[in-house]
């Protein structure tokens, strides 16, 4: 899935901030394509390293994708077997699907109840949905199966493992949760370009990494804690919503 223009704008903003912190570019300067590419290279390498150590940036977002014919389960994740190439969800709060200009909200069912539904081989407009978080992806089920062509919107909490699949929902994104990544990459960029970061950079880098580790400990201390309520009601047309917030 290609990164949207809104997402590219946000990633470019992260790159510019990191390059300024590293001393590579001055304030208000616009990064070159090569500088943004260097940021992305170090950012994705850093995220991969953190993922190997089960350290993640968590954020709340909405993604959208086109439904496929006769699909009961979609696997959302970065792996080769994923139906939808994306950062994996660790919690889903709401799902809607759009046909034409109308947006519908199917009902939520717990996975154990979803598995008891009969006739799941039927294709029609989805009336209910469920999800299950796996190690490498998030399994999202629809009953009945999707017919294909629907625009499916999924809202929830993701863990960031790659900027390649990042979607920002088309709205202004608070960047505080991304600062640990921005600072760590700035350190790599300073070494890469032989630049000198501003005074106080390394103490702030330490604070941001302490924040990241603390946040991961807080997440791990709960048993699948939702930072928001799951919408278990639905049916009918609703207004569209999008964007990211930080919990």
Residue 236, pLDDT > 50, answer no
Rounded-to-integer distance, Cα 178 and Cα 247, Å: 12
The predicted-structure confidence for 172-219, as pLDDT tens digits, reads as follows 445 688 999 999 999 999 999 999 998 999 999 999 999 999 989 887
Are 101 and 238 spatial neighbours (Cβ–Cβ below 8 Å)? no
* 8 A C-beta contact, residue 40 and residue 201: no
3-state secondary structure at position 98: strand
pLDDT single digits (tens) 27-76:
989 999 999 999 999 999 999 999 999 999 998 889 999 999 989 999 99
What pLDDT is stored for residue 210 in this prediction? 94
Higher pLDDT, 171 or 19: 19
> Which residues pair with residue 76 across a beta bridge?
84, 138
Q: What are the residue boundaries of the structural domains of the chain, listed by start?
A: 5-220
Among 219, 139, 138, residue whose Cα is nearest residue 177: 219
Q: What is the pLDDT of residue 198?
A: 87
Structure pTM? 0.78
């Amino acid at each position: 899935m290609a990164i949207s223009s809104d997402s590219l704008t946000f990633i470019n903003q992260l790159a510019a901030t990191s390059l300024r912190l590293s001393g590579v570019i001055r304030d208000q300067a616009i990064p070159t394509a090569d500088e943004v590419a260097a940021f992305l290279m170090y950012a994705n390498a850093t995220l991969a390293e953190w993922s190997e150590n089960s350290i993640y940036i968590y954020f709340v977002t909405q993604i959208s994708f086109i439904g496929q014919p006769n699909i009961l389960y979609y696997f959302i994740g970065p792996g080769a077997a994923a139906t939808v190439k994306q950062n994996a969800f660790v919690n889903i709060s709401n799902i809607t699907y759009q046909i034409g200009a109308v947006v519908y909200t199917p009902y939520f069912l717990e996975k154990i109840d979803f598995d008891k539904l009969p006739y799941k081989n039927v294709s029609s407009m989805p009336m209910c949905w469920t999800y299950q978080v796996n190690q490498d992806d998030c399994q999202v089920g629809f009953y009945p199966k999707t017919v294909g062509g629907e625009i499916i919107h999924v809202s929830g909490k993701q863990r960031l493992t790659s900027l390649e699949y990042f979607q920002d929902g088309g709205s202004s994104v608070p960047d505080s949760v991304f600062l640990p990544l921005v600072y760590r990459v700035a350190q790599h960029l300073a070494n890469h370009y032989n630049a000198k970061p501003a005074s106080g950079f390394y103490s702030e880098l330490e604070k941001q990494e302490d924040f990241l580790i603390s946040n991961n400990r807080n997440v791990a201390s709960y048993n699948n804690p939702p930072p928001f309520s799951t919408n278990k009601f639905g049916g009918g047309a609703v207004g569209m919503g999008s964007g990211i917030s930080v919990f």
